[in-house]
Amino acid sequence: MTRLSKALNAWQTPAFHAVLKEEIEHLDAGFLPLQQGLSQSSHANVDKLTAMIISVAEESDCLRVKAGLFYTGISAGCSCADDPTPVDAVNEYCEVRIDIDKQTAAARVTLLAEE
């Protein structure tokens, strides 16, 4: 379980959005549903992830965050010597909901379906 302690500690301060954005961008890529969020490629490239905070709502037991994630993906070929398919990065974007428990700072991430 991943914890977003810095963001929870910054809740209701002017620094909250910046702290939350930074914590999301430094999460282990395996914790985020980047592979499932692909729409134009077949493999998520997590070398450079940028988060955008869309909204934050306070619930009785958690902070509910909607965030957009910008990253790249690739459509890998067969890796044969004569494979003409270039391995170019494609821009990807997905939206997630992050629930941060107000007692423990434990975070749960859910991929949001495209509208």
* Residue 115 reports pLDDT greater than 90: no
Of residues 31 and 77, more confidence is placed in: 31
3-state secondary structure of 9: helix
Per-residue DSSP letters for 29-87? Answer: GGGS-TTTT-SS-SEEEEEEEEEEEEEEEE-SSEEEEEEEEEEEEE------TT-----
* φ and ψ at residue 106, rounded to 5 degrees: -65, 135
Q: What is the mean pLDDT of residues 66-83?
A: 78
Handedness of CA 41, 44, 46, 50 (dihedral sign): positive
Domain 2-111 has CATH 2.60.40: no
pLDDT of residue 58: 97
86: confidence class by pLDDT, cuts 50, 70, 90: low
The residue among 74, 88, 87, 92 whose CA lies nearest residue 38 is 92
Q: What is the mean pLDDT of residues 63-70?
A: 97
| Domain boundaries of the chain, sorted by first residue | 2-111
The predicted structure's pLDDT at residue 75: 79
pTM (global) more than 0.85: yes
Q: Average pLDDT of the chain?
A: 90
DSSP character at residue 13: S
Band (pLDDT 50/70/90 cuts) for residue 7 is very high
Q: What is the mean pLDDT of residues 39-67?
A: 93
Question: Residue 85: which pLDDT band, with cuts at 50, 70 and 90?
Answer: low
More confident residue, 10 or 84: 10
